[in-house]
Amino acid sequence: MEFHYDLEQGSVEWLEKKHGQIGGTKAKLLYTKTDTLLIEMLAEIIEPFDEDADESYKSDAMENGSNLEPQARIELEAYTGVHFKECGWIQSDNPIVGISPDGISDCETIQCEIKCPQPKAHIRMCLNDEIPREYIPQCVHAFVVNSKLEKLYFCSYRPENTLKPLFVKELTRDSIVDIGWTKKVEVEVIGAKGVPIKPKIETVTDYRTITDWVKVCNTAVTELQEQITESINKLNF
């Protein structure tokens, strides 16, 4: 595992480093049954890095989030008492898996994931008091990459919100989260006379600990690497 503090996020060197990598943005694709991630990875592995082609697009909202991130980190530090420093990239022990953290503690056991969303999204987070499902794979990915990680602070920052500009949730490897999967379970059905009858099958949310999701992710990465090798051999034939 390597911590690249010298890389500036958004720089050409940073773009080149994460080229052909499964970072936080791609992490959600590891939990799907499509070939989207395989094709994306093959395209980046087979074709050389092109600064112009790989330059990340930023909408106005994304640009605003990037500009607010330093202030959000300061507010989070005041809230948690943890000092967060910038780190361009963390390379896991797997050569195709890494992440760009929004902040990391000096001891490298605590990280933060910062979002600066639109007003409705921020209010919904505050009212529901939970991290939106679409951000969970990225949060899990932090634990996948950094084997030293003990705690992740998820932060939503909206300074224009005069009631609650900062929303924070703490995650550990024991935290139980919903990544979007479902499972079928048998539910006991009691008849009119109190006698159990044939159980019915219901579809429920598949809640698991982050430790469990890390295992799922590692398995998916191994399978993806095998698919990449097979695909490259096929293309070479």
Structure tokens, 237? 């034939």
Instruction: List pLDDT tens digits, range 82-114.
Output: 999 999 999 999 999 999 999 999 999 999 999
pTM over 0.85: yes
Which amino acid is present at 96? Answer: I
Domains annotated on the chain, with CATH: 2-180+208-236 (3.90.320.10)
Instruction: List pLDDT tens digits, range 178-228.
Output: 999 999 998 888 877 777 777 889 999 999 999 999 999 999 999 999 999
